[in-house]
Structure 1
């Protein structure tokens, strides 16, 4: 399996960052060549489902996900969301946490543990897939942070 972790600090409250992260269709605003749509059913919480379509033309693939754990920020505790990826191309799991920090800031940690089909590709290319995933998600989380920071007024 290819694994990677990305950490991004954000100059915005955990609640604002969480709300942005779990607005699934907005992920397409930051992830290159990706469009995300919700699936029928709950839009948040365990059981919510969505599909990220990534790529161009015939090189695009669907990455369906279902939320399996959901703990929004409350009372200054760490928020956590976990998903299972069940696509034909990408399968595995991912999670992110949002940790409140002093001064209306927070830290986002994003983790992925995925297999890419054909499975032999992951077996031989796992280090490359991990580096590519880390670079791609670092770029995505930086773009998300810029959006949330612009939209969140600074507190005195």
Structure 2
């Protein structure tokens, strides 16, 4: 199992940072060979199923994630979302959090525990480094684009 932690401080209000990191379809724009869509469609709430489809042709697989915590930021208070991975290939969870940062900025935290079914723990380091790189790029892209 690979654990990752990504943190960014951005010059955005809490609500805007939250909006950007929880636009599920846009997550696929930053992850190669991946499309993302919530089921049912917006608005997100506990029980929403977000499905990432990764791969090419017959080598594709779904990574369904269920929203188990949905606490948008309110009145300057932090916001947090937790997704539990429910797929046959990718297991684990992800947490996305926004909270007040220094100088009126927003601190964004992405925590993830990821395991690839049938992949021995010997490969956890490779999975960790790959996930940090891919999800780090995706997070940067989400936060940069309105």
TM-score when normalising by structure 1: 0.85
Any idea what SS the aligned residue of 1:137 has? helix
Query: What is the aligned partner in structure 2 of residue 108 from structure 1?
Result: 108
1:61–1:99 distance in 2 versus 1, CA, 3 Å: same
Q: Does residue 1:19 correspond to 2:19, yes or no?
A: yes
Task: Measure how far apart 1:53 and its partner are.
Answer: 0.8
Cα pair 1:18 1:98 within 8 Å, conserved: yes
TM-score, structure 2 as length reference:
0.91
RMSD: 1.7
Once the 2 structures are TM-superposed, how far is the Cα of residue 78 of structure 1 from its aligned partner? 1.4
Measured after TM superposition, the shift of residue 132 of structure 1 is 0.8
* Residue 129 of structure 1: aligned partner: 127
Moved beyond 3 Å, runs of 4+: none
- CA apart distance, 1:42: 6.5
Q: Which moved more, 1:50-59 or 1:129-138?
A: 50-59
Mark the CA change 1:41 to 1:35 in structure 2 (over 3 Å): closer, same or farther: closer
- Which ranges of structure 2 fall in alignment gaps of 5 or more residues? none
Look up the match of 1:90.
90
**Residue in structure 1 matched with residue 99 of structure 2 by the alignment:** 99
Give 1:1-156 correspondences, 5 Å limit. Answer: 1-40=1-40, 43-118=43-118, 121-147=119-145, 151=146
CA contact (8 A) 2:63 2:86 kept: yes
